[in-house]
């Protein structure tokens, strides 16, 4: 005798979210269960495509379905009832701000490799270089064409090996020209980038913020539905002091801090492979302990991954010795995005069994 939809849902209560510590049904992460022709169609309130933890949760759901003698058909769906903004950037699932308290810590390099790393996993990704005065993204992710313009005068971002990129650096006649702009003009360019770019459908929009806690950063936090922020620092005490200020800024604007990336954590000798803590060790741990935020990873100093970055995303370079560290950071950030989104669902949805299946997208 075939299992019923209610019985299958009860079995799904045995699948626990490893980050939150409760089962996916109690958390409201199961939108709908439907069985048709020996196929179980399950709608899940997941919103972090290709995050390792959500992929694993999906595999565990499939195992439950297959153990029940059914074929699994999983979909992912979230909307306003789950707590997600559907008005600002409705075709962008997650906006991730990458910030630093001061310049020169490798923030842009981390942002570019995060975007490229998520795209490498299969996600649709855009990268907005919001560092108006220091637009360095095109140096790391050189684009394949000039920006386009739609009939509605929206900017169409060019691509860099699959990542859609827009940057003030593309608006300069010469790459060495300085962006000499006062506050109102900076805000004007920022709003054009926020409202006047046709990104298409994106799983992740990575925003490389200007360093510090100035107007441009505050305007972005007030204008976009930011899923969470990634703070980049180095082990040096001066950088850590500014990092604390950045975290406080995000906390005051109710923007979740996904965690801290410690760049230049140690020097990897290219000859012998030994690591040396040139700027001290464990500096980010003090931030993690004080503000109760995750350490997303440590990236060593290496000749092909300095503070100024390099042409091309090393997360895609199989010959780079720092590729593994970068992939670990990308996976950890994706998992924290998934956890943040699932917690949002659990706070906004009271689970009630239903047979109504909403319009969905494939997971």
Distance CA 273, CA 321 (A): 10
pLDDT tens readout for residues 267-313: 666 677 666 655 555 667 777 778 888 899 988 877 666 544 456 79
Structural domains for the chain: 5-83 (3.30.300.130), 92-341 (3.40.50.300)
Q: DSSP letter string over 178-202?
A: -----HHHHHHHHHHHHHSB---SB
SS (H, E, C) 293-312: CCEEEEEEEECCECCCCCCC
Which residues define the annotated binding site? 101-108
CB-based contacts of 176, cutoff 8 Å, min separation 6: none
Element (DSSP H or E) covering residue 126: strand 125-129
Residue 169 CB neighbours (<10 A)? 20
Q: How far is CA 331 from CA 249, 255, 297, in A?
A: 25, 21, 10
Highest mean pLDDT, choosing among 71-75, 127-131, 147-151: 71-75
pLDDT tens readout for residues 21-53: 999 999 999 999 999 999 999 999 999 999 999
Count of positions (residues) in the chain: 363
What pLDDT is recorded for position 180? 43
Q: What is the mean pLDDT of residues 176-194?
A: 57
CB-based contacts of 362, cutoff 8 Å, min separation 6: 75, 76
Q: What is the mean pLDDT of residues 342-363?
A: 66
Using alpha carbons, select from 85, 106, 107, 109 the residue that is nearest to residue 95. 85
Rg (CA), the chain: 21
Report which of residues 133 and 246 the model is more confident about.
246
Which residues define the annotated binding site for ATP? 101-108
């Amino acid at each position: 005798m075939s299992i019923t939809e209610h019985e299958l849902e009860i079995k799904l209560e045995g699948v626990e979210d490893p980050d939150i510590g409760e089962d996916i049904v109690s958390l409201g992460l199961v939108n709908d269960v439907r069985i048709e022709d020996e196929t179980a169609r399950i709608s899940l309130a997941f919103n972090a495509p290709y995050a390792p933890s959500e992929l694993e949760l999906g595999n565990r759901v499939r195992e439950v379905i297959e153990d029940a003698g059914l074929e699994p058909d999983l979909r992912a769906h979230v909307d306003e009832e789950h707590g997600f903004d559907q008005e600002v950037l409705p075709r962008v699932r997650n906006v991730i701000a990458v910030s630093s308290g001061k310049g020169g810590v490798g923030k842009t390099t981390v942002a570019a490799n995060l975007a490229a790393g998520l795209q490498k996993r299969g996600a649709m990704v855009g990268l907005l270089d919001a560092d108006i005065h220091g637009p360095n993204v095109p140096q790391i992710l050189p684009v394949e064409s000039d920006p386009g313009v739609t009939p509605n005068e929206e900017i169409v971002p060019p691509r860099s090996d699959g990542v859609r990129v827009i940057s003030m650096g593309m608006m300069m006649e010469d790459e060495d020209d300085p962006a000499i702009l006062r506050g109102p003009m900076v805000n004007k360019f920022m709003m054009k980038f926020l409202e006047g770019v046709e990104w298409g459908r994106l799983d992740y929009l990575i925003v490389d913020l200007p360093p510090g806690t100035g107007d441009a950063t505050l305007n972005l936090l007030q204008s976009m539905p930011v899923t969470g922020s990634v703070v980049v620092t180095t082990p040096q005490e001066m950088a850590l002091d500014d990092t604390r200020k950045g975290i406080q800024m995000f906390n005051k604007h109710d923007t979740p801090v996904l965690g801290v990336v410690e760049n230049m954590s140690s020097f990897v000798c290219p000859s012998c492979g030994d690591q040396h803590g040139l700027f001290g060790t464990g500096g980010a741990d003090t931030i993690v302990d004080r503000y109760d935020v995750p350490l997303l990873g440590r990236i060593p100093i290496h000749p092909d991954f300095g503070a100024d970055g390099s042409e091309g995303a090393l997360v895609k370079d199989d010959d780079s010795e720092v590729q593994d560290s970068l992939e670990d950071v990308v996976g950890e950030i994706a998992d924290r995005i998934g956890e943040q989104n699932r917690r949002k669902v659990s706070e906004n949805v009271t689970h009630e069994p239903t047979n109504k299946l909403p319009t969905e997208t494939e997971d």
